[in-house]
Amino acid sequence: MAAATDVTRRGSARSISNLSADVALPVIAQCESGGRQFDEDGNLIRNPESSAIGKYQIMASLHEKRAESLGFDIRTEEGNEGYARHLYQESGTQHWEADQRSKGCWGPVLRILARGHKPLKGFEVTMRREWTENIPFPTRGETRVDWMPKSLVTYQVMTSDGKITTFRGVESKDVSSRLSPGVRFRVLDADSAVINIVPSKTG
């Protein structure tokens, strides 16, 4: 991808599996629970829409009995982390991929880390039906950028030369590209949608 305006779809498994648990899991935990097992009142952090609990949002309905058989109590921070490591060693990020909002947070960061690059601070952009203003990147010239919408929407990307690429809802996986400042986004099938953008220092 030598051209700065090339926008390329990437599958979610690309080289993330090569990252060690020590590198990948803290990023996942931060996105899943803010890196916490308990809230400020000492209550176990739970997903109100599922049985996911704790620092790594382990699905208790699917995994608690198995975790116990392996010696992990996922209701404790130590056990939640220990079983998360077991899951990661067994199947990589698969356990956490169903939650598109969470994946939209950790996916781009892990992609950059998998390429051996240091990610800059990520940010969110709200897309609407009108084109966004030019997205500011924290580096000059071409920047390696990963992004992912936090919901399954159809959206478009306009690069600095005016080229437009459309991403259908069913294709809303994380995307990687080298871009120049001046990229814009808009959503086509919703009033608004949030997209997570993570640039890296090198491309």
Q: What domains lie within the chain, and their CATH numbers?
A: 7-12+117-199 (2.60.120.10), 16-96 (no CATH)
What pLDDT is recorded for position 65?
A: 98
Q: 118: buried, middle or exposed (CB in 10 Å: 19+, 13-18, 0-12)?
A: exposed
What pLDDT is recorded for position 138?
A: 65
What pLDDT is recorded for position 170?
A: 57
Interval 73-130: pLDDT, tens: 999 999 999 999 999 999 999 999 988 888 888 988 898 888 887 777 788 889 999 9
DSSP bridge pairs for 198: 146
Low-confidence ranges of the chain (pLDDT < 50): 1-5, 8-13
Nearest in space to 197 (alpha carbons), one of 132, 109, 115: 109
Classify each residue of 140-175 as buried b or exposed e, where b means 16 or more C-beta atoms within 10 Å of its C-beta: eebbbbbbbbbbebbbebbbeeeeebebeeeebbbb
- φ/ψ of residue 192, rounded to 5: -160, 160
- Tell me the C-alpha distance between 193 and 184, whole Å: 14
134-184-5-19 Cα dihedral, nearest 10 degrees: 100
What lies within 8 Å, CB to CB, of 128 at 6+ separation is 186, 187, 191, 192
